[in-house]
């Protein structure tokens, strides 16, 4: 099935997709800040450039988009209908790279939490998960 958009239209549409400061990321940051935790953003020196880094807790949080990072079982992670020969390997490579980078972080002694875009509608649940994750190192 051919793409329904021209190359220029597709390029313009893809350029609107944000890798940083997306709505779900801003919502997560606000939630964590309100809990009293402080963090650094997008630390390039760490594998995968985690979205939120808590250096004193040796912890990182990634907020993954369900489509781009292939959230298993999620309706937002469906494959496009066109150009499957392009999309399938690209999206699988994203997933493989994520697992490798998370393992590298663990090997360096960091704790890793992945929050999925679709989970951000459950703010109470995410708050509990994040609080438990960040307080693990405190023994709380």
Best CA proximity match to 37, nearest among 139, 114, 138:
138
Task: Tell me if 10 sits within 8 A of 102, measured CB to CB.
Answer: no
What global pTM score does this model have? 0.84
Helices marked H in the chain: 7-15, 23-34, 66-69, 84-107, 123-135
Best CA proximity match to 67, nearest among 57, 59, 75:
75
Place 84 in a pLDDT band, splitting at 50, 70 and 90: confident
Place 115 in a pLDDT band, splitting at 50, 70 and 90: very high
∠ CA 76-79-81 to the nearest 5 degrees? 120
Domains of the chain: 19-138 (3.40.960.10)
């Amino acid at each position: 099935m051919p793409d329904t958009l021209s190359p220029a239209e597709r390029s313009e549409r893809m350029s609107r997709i944000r890798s940083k400061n997306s709505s779900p990321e801003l919502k997560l940051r606000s939630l964590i800040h309100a809990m009293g935790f402080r963090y650094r953003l997008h630390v390039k020196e760490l594998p995968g450039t985690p979205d939120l880094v808590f250096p004193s807790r040796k912890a990182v949080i990634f907020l993954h988009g369900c489509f781009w990072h292939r959230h298993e079982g999620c309706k937002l992670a469906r494959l496009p209908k066109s150009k499957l020969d392009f999309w399938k390997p690209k999206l699988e490579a994203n997933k493989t790279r994520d697992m490798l980078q998370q393992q590298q972080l663990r090997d360096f002694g960091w704790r890793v939490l992945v929050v999925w875009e679709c989970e951000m509608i459950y703010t109470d649940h995410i708050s509990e998960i994040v609080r438990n994750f960040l307080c693990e190192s405190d023994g709380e």
